[in-house]
Amino acid sequence: MKKVILIAGGSRGIGKYLAESLKDKFLISVCSRTLEWTEYDNFFSYKCDLRNREDARGFVNTTLNKFDHIDVVIYNAGLMLYDDLLSVREEDIDAMYEIVVKGYLFLCQEIIPIMRKQQHGYIINISSTRGITAAPDKSAYSAMKRAATSLTDSIRIENEQYGIRAISVHFGMVDTDSSREKYGDEIHRFNPIGLSSVLETIRFLLSFAKDTQIDSIVVGGKL
Ligand SMILES: NC(=O)c1ccc[n+]([C@@H]2O[C@H](COP(=O)([O-])OP(=O)(O)OC[C@H]3O[C@@H](n4cnc5c(N)ncnc54)[C@H](OP(=O)(O)O)[C@@H]3O)[C@@H](O)[C@H]2O)c1
């Protein structure tokens, strides 16, 4: 039976690349605020705003109706609003909190009861090296990513007896449109990793046996 992978945040960048690359071997369900409904045998896209609990529930239930089970969640939805500690704006803090922390929690609250019934499931939190250490001008972003790392640890601790795994994947800078919008050609100063390395990392994680619990992995960048 093909595994079902649910990707939160897949209209562009990492999420879109993963959805398109993994759809040959897996059944993919992907969402974002700007994606339109599309449906094929192996691929399904859903328009929703994950800051809203009802939307998260709709995404999970519609995926379940279509594919019957959910094996893997890749929580990729996020906002990268960088600023130094003294300049960071309240609306940017709120915006990042809403999607990086609260949206993640809402989606997990919908999906974990299903995974408990299945007695298996894998939750992959797409994090950043900033989910472990701070760096200049990324104060609020680091705080949100660390909060999501902490949630991932709670998910693992509270659910491993149900066969559920949870991991934070801490990527260094990735060469995506959103990184280029911020840094332009300066991006090369940060030695970004390519989207193909992100894909290889996810494939590597999916290759482990169901009982292999890995807390976190760092790929690229500097801690
Ligand atoms: N790029 C990097 O250098 C890098 C490095 C380490 C970690 N990361 C992490 O990797 C993830 C993706 O990065 P990226 O560069 O691919 O970013 P991106 O291009 O900005 O993509 C973010 C995705 O999240 C979706 N999203 C945002 N708010 C949402 C909401 N309320 N509901 C549903 N979907 C929502 C966006 O779709 P809509 O706008 O259509 O909703 C989009 O598909 C982020 O979590 C980021 O923190 C990125």
Phi-psi region of 76 (alpha: psi -120 to 50; beta: other; left: phi over 0): alpha
Percentage above 70 pLDDT, the chain:
100
| Architecture per CATH, 4-219 | 3-Layer(aba) Sandwich (3.40)
Ligand 1 pocket member 81 (CB < 6 A): no
- Could you tell me where the DSSP H helices lie in 47-171? 53-67, 90-96, 103-118, 139-159
Q: Is the pTM of this model over 0.85?
A: yes
Task: Confirm or reject: Cβ of 47 under 6 Å from ligand 1.
Answer: no
Ligand 1 pocket mutation, candidates 7, 14, 48, criterion most atoms within 8 A of CB: 14
Q: Are 89 and 22 in contact (CB under 8 A)?
A: no
Contact 84, 91 (CB under 8 A): no
C-alpha 127/C-alpha 52 separation (Å) is: 21
Tell me the CA–centroid distance for residue 161 and ligand 1, in Å: 31
pLDDT in tens, 94-105: 999 999 999 999
- The domain segmentation of the chain, as residue ranges, is 4-219
pLDDT in tens, the chain (223 residues): 999 999 999 999 999 999 999 999 999 999 999 999 999 999 999 999 999 999 999 999 999 999 999 999 999 999 999 999 999 999 999 999 999 999 999 999 999 999 999 999 999 999 999 999 999 999 999 999 999 999 999 999 999 999 999 999 999 999 999 999 999 989 999 999 999 999 999 999 999 999 999 999 999 998 8
Condensed to tens digits (0 to 9), the pLDDT of residues 81-130 reads 999 999 999 999 999 999 999 999 999 999 999 999 999 999 999 999 99
Q: Which helix (H) or strand (E) holds 213?
A: none
pLDDT for the residue 210: 94
- Atom 6, ligand 1: which residue's CA is nearest? 128
69 Cβ below 6 A of ligand 1: no
With contact defined as beta carbons under 8 Å apart, do 78 and 99 qualify? yes
The vertex-118 CA angle with 112 and 119, nearest 5°, equals: 85
Q: How wide is the angle at C-alpha 110 spanned by C-alphas 106 and 112, nearest 5°? A: 110
